[in-house]
A and B are shown apart, each in its own frame.
Chain A
Amino acid sequence: MRYIEPHAHMVSRTTDDYVAMVTAGCKAVCEPAFWAGFDRSSSKGFYDYFRQLTEYEPARAAKFHLPHFSWLCINPKESEDIALANEVIDLIPQFLDKPNVLGIGEIGLNKNSRNEMTILERHVDLAATHKQLILVHTPHLEDKLKGTRLIVDLIKSDSRIDPSRVLIDHVEEHTVKYVMDAGMWGGITLYPESKATAPRAIDILETYGADRLWMNSACDWGVSVPLAVPYAAMEMRRRGYDDDIIDQVFYRSPVAFLRQSPNFQIDQTKP
């Protein structure tokens, strides 16, 4: 099979993971900027991180013949410090013309606070001003339903944003309809303990279709599985899906969204 890993924090992973992903059929990996597991002490830490995402990590992935793309932002977990967040956002435009940058992400909300919303509004404005795709992180657990509504409503209210250029990630059964009804794309994250399992993700596809949904591992430094996407493909085979639908779900659909960025260039003629 061939597949796209649309959301993976590879700076947290080992080269063994690159080997396993490429062996399983991964044709491209996309890495949103995120929280490091600790708060960075200044905007200089983000400058270095953006260089890592746009220079060093693509070079590391290339050693395994895997195209690497990135998204830039300050994660909502660090948005409570408004002054720091504004400094970081001011750094982003100088990186937007790097060849592997797909857009602004993963932006969003974490605890649904006023400061998080202020910084989300700045990110959305940045994406609109620079005509960038948007990748959104929705909050965890009890905060997800409320946060998803707040995020979708904010983006819908900005007439400069085409909803088909927005992906709302980490959808679950209680939030996916709100995203689909808004004309946006949804991402289903496959985690062992939270978010969705492969059987639930396939249930969601069977309910809403695969036209504007993708699956990702969101693997990072926490409990996560870099091969969760091909494992979900295996689960679809168990349910009786054929190769064509599996290729649609795990390759052609994510490519359809990602190629809205002119920087998403991969050789689609390779098997």
Chain B
Amino acid sequence: MKPANPQSPVDLYFMDARSKLIDIAAFMDRVERDQATDDFRYQAFLKALKELENSDRATAVLRSLSDPTSELIPAATTKAACGAPPPADS
């Protein structure tokens, strides 16, 4: 599916992406200032950032932040998801 009158994606989305990139930079500075870099979610975030160096980035980032296992868990002890797979011993 393609538009009849395609617009430049850079024209449309550069400013939005620029803003989000600065937000990410500020988030990382904030976590470092607060010495929270050991949090498993932040470590997963750093790992996912490396996926930006290749193609098909959105898929790769989402996969990087996904539970890599394939088996059902014995029981759900919470309803919530936290955005990154928790350490195996948690």
Contact = CB atoms under 8 A, between A and B. Distances in A.
Interface of A: 35, 77, 80, 110-117, 139-146, 149-150, 172-174, 199-200, 203, 205-206, 209-210, 236, 238-242, 245
Interface of B: 1-7, 12-13, 58-59, 62-63, 65-70, 72-85
Contacts of B85: 142
B73 A111 contact: yes
B4 A205 contact: no
14 contacts: A77-B79, A80-B76, A110-B79, A113-B72, A115-B76, A141-B82, A142-B82, A142-B84, A146-B66, A174-B66, A236-B3, A239-B3, A241-B4, A242-B4
Contact of A113 (B3, B7, B75): B75
Nearest to A109: B72
User: At the interface, is chain B mostly helix, strand, loop or mixed?
Assistant: loop
Nearest to B44: A142
A256 B44 CA distance: 40
B27 to A, nearest CB: 14
A115 B74 CA distance: 8
B83 A111 contact: no
Contacts of B13: 199
Given A115-B75, A139-B81, A146-B67, 20 more contacts: A35-B79, A77-B79, A80-B76, A112-B67, A113-B74, A113-B75, A113-B76, A142-B84, A143-B67, A144-B62, A145-B66, A146-B66, A146-B70, A149-B70, A205-B1, A209-B1, A238-B12, A240-B6, A242-B3, A242-B5
A141 B75 contact: no
Given A142-B66, A142-B67, A174-B63, A114 B82 contact: no
Nearest to A235: B12
B62 A117 contact: no
B19 to A, nearest CB: 13
Contacts of B84: 141-142
Contact of A150 (B7, B68, B72): B72
Contact of A114 (B3, B68, B75): B75
A114 B72 CA distance: 6
B66 A116 contact: no
Contacts of B79: 35, 77, 110-111
B81 A140 contact: yes
B72 to A, nearest CB: 5
Given A117-B72, A174-B66, A142 B83 contact: yes
Contacts of A242: 3-5
Contacts of A141: 65, 81-84
Contacts of A115: 75-76
Max chain B Cβ within 10 angstroms of own Cβ: one of A174, A203, A205: A174
B80 to A, nearest CB: 8
